[in-house]
Amino acid sequence: MLKVQNVCKTFNAGTINEKRALVNVDLHLAPGDFVTVIGGNGAGKSTLMNMIAGVYPIDSGVIELDGKDISLLSEPARAKYLGRVFQDPMMGTAADMQIIENLAMAKRRGKTRTLAWGVTKAEKDEYAERLRELGLGLEKRLTSKVGLLSGGQRQALTLLMATLTEPKLLLLDEHTAALDPKTAAKVLELTEKIVGEHQLTTLMVTHNMNDAIRLGNRLIMMHEGRIIYDVKGDEKRALTVSDLLQKFEEVSGGELANDRMLLS
Amino acid sequence: MGLALLGAVSQGILWGIMVLGVFITYKLLDIADLTVDGSFALGGCVCAVLVVGGVNPLLAILAAMIAGMIAGAVTGFLHTVFEIPAILAGILTQIGLWSINLRIMGKSNTPLLKNDTVFSQVTDLTGLSSNIGSIIVGLIVAVAIIAALYWFFGTEIGSACRATGNNEAMVRALGVNTKVTKMIALMLSNGLVGLSGGLICESQKYADIGMGTGAIVIGLAAIVIGEVLGRLTPGKLRAFGSRLTAAVVGSVVYFLIRAVVLQLGMDANDMKLLSAIIVALALCIPVVWEKYQLKRSYTRAARPEGGR
């Protein structure tokens, strides 16, 4: 489904702040793969997501999605194939617009916008039904401004928006990191449910090693712009947090865990 | 006094169309677009030259609108393609337009004293006084534009434009090119500003190189006044159509205040200072009020559970 081949990205090349964010990254995802991505700060996890989404152009390499070379497509052009949820709950929704307006915009992801009505009556029932599945009572607040929702509600809404039109690839960039533990668990539960129901190919960055082990069928670990560990199937199911820490020390000669990872 | 107030209402409505343009950039796109001073005068100049040249006054106003849209496109081009900050892109276009406007007119002032205008056509046809005539023409245009904007910002493209001012990253992630939506909004906005410039030119029967100076401040003042009035009304007027209407009403109130102050003997040249003070105060008060509330709500003692 997704083929990342030999992708490199360096920020501020040639300056004192030069940062080699991705170094010859190779990653192939089969359809239906649910891959969790872990790594320390500055490992290149978010850069990998942003390169796939086309936020910045890559320096070299090829990114293919479903057999189509998307390496040079602009961010809006790639949006057709991608569902995205960001770390910041504010980033995925338009605060001054209604819940239903946000959903209607998401429904039209990848389609050419016309002068037809932005929200049609027929859509309303569909959205109410999908919101009901979230179990947050949002179906009764279709015309509320999104700015009135809590961070967790906004993140759940963003997740629904990202999958309303089924994406070829779902990109989750630490989408529960800014939430309190209880809300994070709820959003993660919804993630599992939605990904499972639609068999979505998913790439999920997380700083929580337990989540990374528990969710998905494959786990990759990144360090200094490289994928240093890639495990799937039974081997992944048997992993423990201490295995991961040890693995990291082996490969990198340093310690993986920052405080944030150990505490969560 | 009565005549002055009637004149103020008609001016307020015609300028109100410019205010709708400013509303699009300032409120929906979250940009203070300084092109407005230039594109307003551009609309007036284009309209005056065409009317003097014998073009139908209605067509001249449409041409003023198109000229305004082109000015907006220039700002949009500088801002989106070359990533010049919006405020600077607007200033560049505005300054450039000063020379262009002089070129269009060939002099700094073009009178239309002997020419027909849409307003003279209406008053000749109906026998109404000139003030009433321009109020009616202004109202027809304003209502039509509010209806059109209400429709447009409810469409798929319009929703994307509104969301662009809210959250650009999200709009791009949903597959919309925000360069295009910004361009559309800036062209639409300055088109309305040019249209308003054309109408004002025909109603005052001249175009002047300086007619747009301070237009952006008038626009902001009118929007702020409209918002305050909206908040004072029981329904709070949050719906989009009411916010547009409030902007035009704010413009009328602004020109009424202006007429009253001038009648009281204030120098007309001081009016710009007054406008600046109104806008500055309107922007300051909410900030000061919030800080005051925060300070006031502090107590040293512990609060009862859930108390304020």
Residues of chain B with C-beta less than 8 angstroms from the C-beta of A52: none
- Whether residues A101 and B159 touch (CB distance < 8 A) is answered with yes
Comparing B182 with A13, the larger pLDDT belongs to B182
Residues of B with CB under 8 A from a CB of A: 152, 154-160, 162-163, 166-167, 169-178
Q: What is the pLDDT of residue B110?
A: 94
Report yes or no on B191 lying in a domain: yes
How does pLDDT run across B184-226, given as a tens digit for each residue? 999 999 999 999 999 999 999 999 999 999 899 999 999 988 9
Q: What is the pLDDT of residue B85?
A: 96
Domain count, chain B: 1
Highest mean pLDDT among A4-13, B64-73, B229-238: B64-73
- Nearest CB to A94; choose among B155, B157, B170: B170
Give CA–CA dist A95/A90, Å, rounded. 8
- Whether residues A105 and B152 touch (CB distance < 8 A) is answered with no
- Whether residues B173 and A117 touch (CB distance < 8 A) is answered with no
Q: What is the average per-residue pLDDT within B249-257?
A: 93
Q: What is the pLDDT of residue B237?
A: 59
Q: What is the pLDDT of residue B38?
A: 97
Q: Taking every pair of C-alpha atoms in chain B, what is the biggest distance, in angstroms? A: 78
**Confidence band for A256, pLDDT divided at 50, 70 and 90:** low
Residue with tokens 């020379």: B99
**Confidence band for A69, pLDDT divided at 50, 70 and 90:** very high
- The alpha helices in A54-180, defined as continuous H runs, are 75-78, 99-107, 121-134, 151-164
Range of the domain at B148: 2-211
Distance from CA of A207 to the nearest CA of B (A): 23
Tell me the backbone φ, ψ of residue A20, rounded to 5 degrees.
-85, 95
Task: List Cα–Cα distances, A262 to A189, A226, A241, A244, B67, in angstroms.
Answer: 21, 22, 10, 12, 62
Contact in structure between B194 and B43 (CB atoms under 8 Å): yes
Task: List Cα–Cα distances, A93 to A124, A161, A185, B163, B269, in angstroms.
Answer: 18, 9, 21, 9, 46
How does pLDDT run across A107-159, given as a tens digit for each residue? 999 889 999 999 998 899 999 999 998 888 899 999 999 999 999 999 999 99
Residues of chain A with C-beta less than 8 angstroms from the C-beta of B156: 108, 113-118
Beta strand A218-223 with A34-39: parallel, antiparallel or unpaired? Answer: parallel
Contact in structure between B104 and B209 (CB atoms under 8 Å): no
The complex's ipTM works out to: 0.89
Whether the predicted pLDDT of B277 surpasses 90: no
Report yes or no on B243 lying in a domain: no
Whether the predicted pLDDT of A92 surpasses 70: yes
**DSSP reduced 3-state for A21:** strand
- Of B41, B173, B164, which is closest to residue B110 (Cα–Cα)? B41
Share of chain B above pLDDT 90, in %: 70
Angle CA A18–B78–B213, to nearest 5: 130
- Of B84, B106, B107, B104, which is closest to residue B35 (Cα–Cα)? B84
Q: Is A250 left (phi over 0), alpha (psi -120 to 50) or beta?
A: alpha
- Of B275, B193, B277, B194, which is closest to residue B23 (Cα–Cα)? B193
Which candidate in A49, A82, A96 is best for mutational testing of the B interface (most B CBs within 10 A)?
A96
Report yes or no on B49 lying in a domain: yes
Comparing A171 with B261, the larger pLDDT belongs to A171
CA dihedral B280, B286, B290, B293 (to 10 degrees): 110
Q: How many CB atoms lie within 10 A of CB B62?
A: 16
- Whether residues A111 and B175 touch (CB distance < 8 A) is answered with yes
Residue of B nearest to A100 (CA): B159
Residue of B nearest to A96 (CA): B166
Report yes or no on B176 lying in a domain: yes
Task: List Cα–Cα distances, B267 to B10, B260, B264, in angstroms.
Answer: 21, 12, 9
- Nearest CB to B172; choose among A75, A94, A114: A75
Q: Which residues contact B21 (CB under 8 A, 6 or more apart)?
A: B36, B68, B188, B189, B190, B191, B192, B193, B196, B219
How does pLDDT run across B114-148, given as a tens digit for each residue? 899 999 999 999 888 888 999 999 999 999 999 99
Residue of A nearest to B166 (CA): A94
Distance from CA of B17 to the nearest CA of A (A): 23
Residues of A with CB under 8 A from a CB of B: 53, 74-77, 79-80, 82, 84, 86, 90-97, 101, 104-106, 108-111, 113-119, 161
Whether the predicted pLDDT of B104 surpasses 80: yes
Whether the predicted pLDDT of A26 surpasses 70: yes
Q: How many CB atoms lie within 10 A of CB A96?
A: 16
Beta strand A34-39 with A202-205: parallel, antiparallel or unpaired? Answer: parallel
Residues of chain B with C-beta less than 8 angstroms from the C-beta of A110: 175
Distance from CA of B152 to the nearest CA of A (A): 7
**Confidence band for A68, pLDDT divided at 50, 70 and 90:** very high
Contact in structure between B21 and B190 (CB atoms under 8 Å): yes
Whether the predicted pLDDT of B239 surpasses 90: no
Residues of chain A with C-beta less than 8 angstroms from the C-beta of B171: 94, 105
Question: Any idea what DSSP says for residue A139?
Answer: G
Give CA–CA dist A69/A56, Å, rounded. 16
pTM: 0.90
Q: What is the average per-residue pLDDT within A7-12?
A: 94
Count of positions (residues) in chain B: 308
Q: What is the pLDDT of residue B305?
A: 61
3-state helix vs strand vs coil in chain A, percent to 5: 40, 25, 35
- Whether residues B166 and A117 touch (CB distance < 8 A) is answered with no
Residue of B nearest to A84 (CA): B173
Whether the predicted pLDDT of B280 surpasses 90: no
- Whether residues B175 and A80 touch (CB distance < 8 A) is answered with yes
Q: What is the pLDDT of residue A255?
A: 62
Report yes or no on B157 lying in a domain: yes
Report yes or no on B175 lying in a domain: yes
Report yes or no on B251 lying in a domain: no
- Nearest CB to B155; choose among A75, A82, A115: A115
Residues of chain A with C-beta less than 8 angstroms from the C-beta of B161: none
C-alpha count within 13 angstroms, C-beta hemisphere, residue A24 = 1
Report yes or no on B51 lying in a domain: yes
Whether the predicted pLDDT of B307 surpasses 60: no
Q: What is the pLDDT of residue A41?
A: 83
Beta strand A202-205 with A169-173: parallel, antiparallel or unpaired? Answer: parallel
How does pLDDT run across B65-84, given as a tens digit for each residue? 999 999 999 999 999 999 99
Q: What is the pLDDT of residue A262?
A: 54
- Nearest CB to B156; choose among A75, A106, A118: A118
How does pLDDT run across B20-76, given as a tens digit for each residue? 999 999 999 999 999 999 999 999 999 999 999 999 999 999 999 999 999 999 999
Q: What is the pLDDT of residue B272?
A: 80
